[in-house]
Amino acid sequence: MATELDLDALLRDKDKHVIACCGSGGVGKTTTAAALALRAAEVHGRRTVVLTIDPAHRLAQSLGMEALDNTPRPVRGLESGSLDAMMLDMKRTFDDVVALHTTPDRAAEIFANPFYQAVSSTFSGTQEYMAMEKLGQLRETGEWDLIVLDTPPSRSALDFLDAPARLARLLDGRVIRLLSASTPGSRRSMLSLMGASAAVFTRVFNKILGGHLLTDVAEFTASLEDTFGGFRKRAEATFRALQDDQTSFLVVATPEPAAVGEAVYFSRRLTEERMPLDGIILNRLTPVRASLSAERALGAAAILEEDEPESPVAAALRTHADLARRWSTEQRVAARYEAACPDIPQVWLSTLGPEVVDLGGLRGFGAAAAERPARSHVE
């Protein structure tokens, strides 16, 4: 059996300043991040901020707040401690980065550029890159001694590590630099160097990507020339910070083949990148308390139904049998992670009841994860 993950020891460790909850979509990362942040503040006295990238606004509701935005806001109703919460606004974060590294006039030019508007709002990798930017900003303030990060709901959890570097390479790459030479008035524009093929090149791009793409890109890169290198440097600095022992990664998964497979893949990637992976939280397992097997429960139900076809006890036994079978299947799926990553500490949580929607629910979730044995229940 894998080692039990001691979450309380992790939360009270003053040498840990970032906890990143990772995993595929729909496994409970947001709830886990909020519950751990709340426990760190109330139980362990940490000055904590939780950053979510969850667009469903569940974190705000659970924390008793109407909405979250790009600025940390204090959580009210705590029993003790200090907790702030925020939700990433990737466009505003990108705007802040541009404004910080350019003059007001040049920033206005960039903000009005259609290519920038597309990159800052919808471009692949922008959300993950801006999550890294915001994490770096929070660390630099020194206002909090613990940052709990709910990583982006990406198609793959690996995007959180890969996408920032891809976007940084795009904004600081050779193709973009060549495009920046094609601004109106440039004597050695890329298009002029292409000679007779320039008209064909332009028509193809215009047809596929819109009327003024090349001009928009060229003007964007020319306006951003003072910040070239900054994107990549900041992404690299934050990546190095994630490798530091002050950071802790927790993988969150559910007992489903796809989620466990993703957890195994991500755990191996974290290890390869020398990221400090401290454990996995296996969430939403079926709760079964009794030792009665599914087969014995079904046998007993059949005997009871011979005398009383509508026996409520027999119905309860059949329900138990269904839960026991599901639990057995989930254990086999969960065992795949332990077989693949035997050295990673674990917490198993089974949840029965309504979704966590308030501070009380978050407290219960955090207590169950931190205080009970590895194979535990949230009721």
d(CA 374, CA 351): 14
What CATH superfamily is the domain 7-113+124-166+242-290+342-378? P-loop containing nucleotide triphosphate hydrolases (3.40.50.300)
Average pLDDT of the segment spanning 169-192: 50
- Residue 291's nearest CA partner among 255, 324, 319 is 324
Q: What is the pLDDT of residue 189?
A: 46
Q: What is the pLDDT of residue 308?
A: 82
Q: What is the pLDDT of residue 45?
A: 95
β-strand pairing of 73-74 with 346-351: unpaired
Per residue in 311-355, pLDDT tens?
Answer: 888 888 888 888 888 888 888 898 999 999 999 999 988 765 567
| Beta-ladder partners of 252 | 281
Per residue in 74-117, pLDDT tens?
Answer: 999 999 999 999 988 888 888 888 888 778 888 888 888 877 78
* Average predicted confidence (pLDDT) for the chain: 78
Which pTM was predicted?
0.79
Could you tell me what percent of the chain has a pLDDT over 70?
72
H-helix segments, the chain: 7-12, 29-42, 58-62, 90-101, 104-112, 114-122, 126-141, 159-171, 174-180, 190-194, 197-209, 213-223, 230-243, 257-272, 294-307, 312-340, 359-371
Kindly report the number of other CB atoms within 10 A of residue 200's CB atom: 10
Average pLDDT of the segment spanning 197-211: 50
Contact 275, 243 (CB under 8 A): yes
Q: What residues does each domain of the chain span? A: 7-113+124-166+242-290+342-378
- pLDDT category at 222 given cuts 50, 70, 90 is low
Is 169 a residue whose pLDDT tops 80? no
- pLDDT category at 199 given cuts 50, 70, 90 is low
- What is the three-class DSSP state of 44? coil
- Radius of gyration over alpha carbons of the chain, in Å? 26
What residues contact 214, with CB distance under 8 A and at least 6 apart?
A: 179, 182, 191, 202, 205
DSSP at 184: T
- pLDDT category at 240 given cuts 50, 70, 90 is confident
